Chains A and B, each alone.
Chain A
Amino acid sequence: MIVPFAHVLLFAALLFVMGLGCALARRNLIMILIGVEIMLNAAAVALVGGSAHWRQVDGQVFVVFLMAMTSAEVAISLAMVVYLRRRRGTLEADKFDGMHG
């Protein structure tokens, strides 16, 4: 491998935490979804690194599945974003607190 596996994992961890921070701290729904995307990509990095470390192609196959799933997920979430925007007129996540106790 070109770099130690640990370094790849560290990189993936960094990306993941950044995506997490974005999803947690931002109020705009779109930005939350973008945070999710970053996290998913971080996972993809880890998977590819693993595949390279153990010299098997299965990690990459899983990355493909990941991308397919992400597409599906994005499609529906963005459709819902449109729907919510149409219903409420806002995309601020804090405004959607109908489940509050």
Chain B
Amino acid sequence: MNESLLFLIPLLPLTAAVLNMLFGMRLPRLVTETVAVSGVAAAFLLTLLFWGYADGEGTRATLGSWLAAAGVEVSFALHFDALAAAMTLMVTGVATLIHLYAVGYMHDEDDYARFFGLLNLFVFAMLTIVLADNLLLLFLGWEGVGLCSYGLIGFWYRQTENARAGTKAFLVTRVGDVFLAAALLWLFALTGTLEIAAINAQAAGLAPAVLTALTLLLLLGACGKSAQLPLMTWLADAMAGPTPVSALIHAATMVTAGVYLLCRLFPLVSLSPDGMAAIAVVGALTALYAATCALAQREIKRVLAYSTMSQVGYMFLAVGAGSVAGALFHLFTHAFFKAALFMAAGCVIHLAGGENNILRMGGLARRGPRELLWVFVAGALCLAGAPLTGGFFSKDAILLAAYTEGSPLFLALWGVALLTALLTAAYTFRLVYLVFAGTPRGAVDPHPLPWLMRWPLWPLVLCGLGGGLLNLPPLFGGGEWLTRRLGGLAGRAISATHDLEWALGALATGLVVLGWGLARWRYGRFRAGRDHRLGRWLLRGWGADALVEALLVRPFTAISRFCAIGCDRALVAATVDGIARQTSACGERLRLLTTGRVSTYLAAFLWGFLIMLGWFLLALVR
């Protein structure tokens, strides 16, 4: 088959998006929803169909030239290799399930055409990031996901907080995009090309300081989209969007785009030890920070948001430790179980009548449907890393990568990651107990949920539970399928003795049990107690928002106020107005000359005559 057909993978969701945006409101609702779902589902099927194309070096397909001037040659080109294929499959698969869920969830929404259009457009942009052959096309998708994220977070824009959350997300990720753009331009200046493969090949020839600087720039760009320190303040507020949006964008796809970028440019990034250390440090610290914050959150979706931030931090740690396979493994399992958790949270909110606050939930195990409990607990087990779940294997792979890296820094980071794992288990089971256990503290409306909100959860949960099979380590008899599939792209080969793996696995399991025990002890029979200062500080995300406000927003507002009022109004406008007024005043004074009387005009003649005489006299004198 013609390799240009690969372009159908991103273009089918785009077509669905355009159709829905243009005609969605005029078509029957079912048609719009079908178009939306089928766009993504078709992309998924095509990815399966073309799976073989990703073998070996992968397949390149070019649609046409985009820019060709002044030494810049960029074309619309895809590179379908193992990394891209795996990521595409995950994105389209999870997106299809989430679209089905969204059909049920947004059943009462009137603005469905805009919603599904944006959702499909987002999938298109994400696929552009994943499949792009050159950095400019990747950047196009990068900006596209940012735009769609803004549109979807602020979907219910009529409430100002939602619109503000969307704007905040857009602006913070934009800051990261600036760094990415800088890296792009610098790479182009250094290598003369924007193709990823060419850049990776030429990376070895660059100076170490340049490599470190480039890595840091790319890291900052990735931090923006993946909500890592210091650009993480937007993710918690982004929960203002509808739950399917949170599931798709802030669990499975957009936040992982940063990880994907670093994996794509891994040959370049891995050449800089300082850069790798920076990536790992950022990831580990963010993981710890987010886990502590998740312990104190009161809204169910905010807990999950901080949890996502923490898990993406793990992925960054994996990349920093040199294991692309480990990062991708965790990326996939996390996508499965986090999307399932978000969608289950959506069901919980639905049942609680729109209530978000977990302190006002409780007892849902008895009052709500059984399967919701199973799904949620399954997702929670994966998230906490309970033994033999997908989350266990992927997290263990990361911990192993960090431990075997060798340097003392990474040993310290490994310790941080262990602490974070404990906290992860703690907050996960805190969530489970507060929502499902105990006596109901709030109003529960036990109505049956629409089937579209229940059935898509199961494939995700099963993938999450069984996700370990993706990259089962030989310790458990597996063949590490993902690592083998990635081949040369997998990064550093992790080899460890069986004893070490057993020890680490046991340690992780012990932490999970400890975390669960702590949660049960504190929240098993929950009585709402006083909240203390530490809790409030963690609730506010260590005061990050206030810090950003004080450091950046207030000076910026002051500067813009100065420019607008001080400069523009006082100087420029006043000058222009002043000139106009003076001209007008001159005109007024000159007007006095036009008396309409003959004698005035005769006198004017005389004055002119006098000037001429004066001229002649002056000529004489000379």
Contact = CB atoms under 8 A, between A and B. Distances in A.
B597 interface: yes
Given A20-B606, A24-B606, A99 B599 contact: no
A93 interface: yes
Contact of B597 (A20, A23, A25, A94): A94
Contacts of A101: 591, 594, 596
A93 B597 contact: yes
Nearest to A100: B596
A25 B598 CA distance: 11
B603 interface: yes
B594 A23 contact: no
B602 interface: yes
A64 to B, nearest CB: 26
Interface string B579-598: 00000000000010011111
Interface residues of A, number: 14
Contact of A32 (B591, B595, B598, B606): B598
Nearest to B595: A100
Nearest to A32: B598
Contacts of B598: 32, 93, 96
A94 B184 CA distance: 80
A5 B598 CA distance: 34
Nearest to A95: B597
Nearest to B602: A24
A99 B602 CA distance: 15
Interface residues of B, number: 10
A44 B511 CA distance: 126
Contact of A99 (B591, B596, B603): B596
B590 to A, nearest CB: 9
Interface string A5-30: 00000000000000010011101000
Contacts, number: 33
A24 B591 CA distance: 20
Contacts of A93: 597-599
A23 B596 contact: no
A23 B595 contact: no
Contacts of B596: 96-101
A96 B601 CA distance: 13
Contacts of A32: 598-599
A28 B19 CA distance: 87
Nearest to A27: B599
Nearest to B594: A101
Contacts of B602: 20, 23-24
A20 B613 CA distance: 15
Contacts of A25: 599
Interface in B542-594: 591, 594
A14 to B, nearest CB: 15
Nearest to B598: A93
Contacts of A97: 595-597
A30 B599 CA distance: 13
A23 B599 CA distance: 7
A1 B595 CA distance: 47
Contacts of A20: 602, 606
Interface string B288-299: 000000000000
Nearest to B609: A20
B606 to A, nearest CB: 6
A23 B603 CA distance: 9
B150 to A, nearest CB: 59
18 contacts: A20-B602, A23-B599, A24-B602, A24-B603, A27-B599, A32-B599, A93-B599, A94-B599, A96-B597, A97-B595, A97-B596, A99-B596, A100-B594, A100-B595, A100-B596, A100-B597, A101-B594, A101-B596
Given A20-B606, A93-B597, 17 more contacts: A20-B602, A23-B599, A23-B602, A24-B606, A32-B599, A93-B599, A94-B597, A94-B599, A96-B596, A96-B597, A96-B598, A97-B595, A97-B597, A98-B596, A100-B595, A100-B597, A101-B594
Q: Kindly list the 7 A-B residue pairs having the minimum CB-CB distance in the complex, ordered from nearest.
A: A100-B596, A97-B596, A101-B594, A99-B596, A93-B598, A101-B591, A97-B597
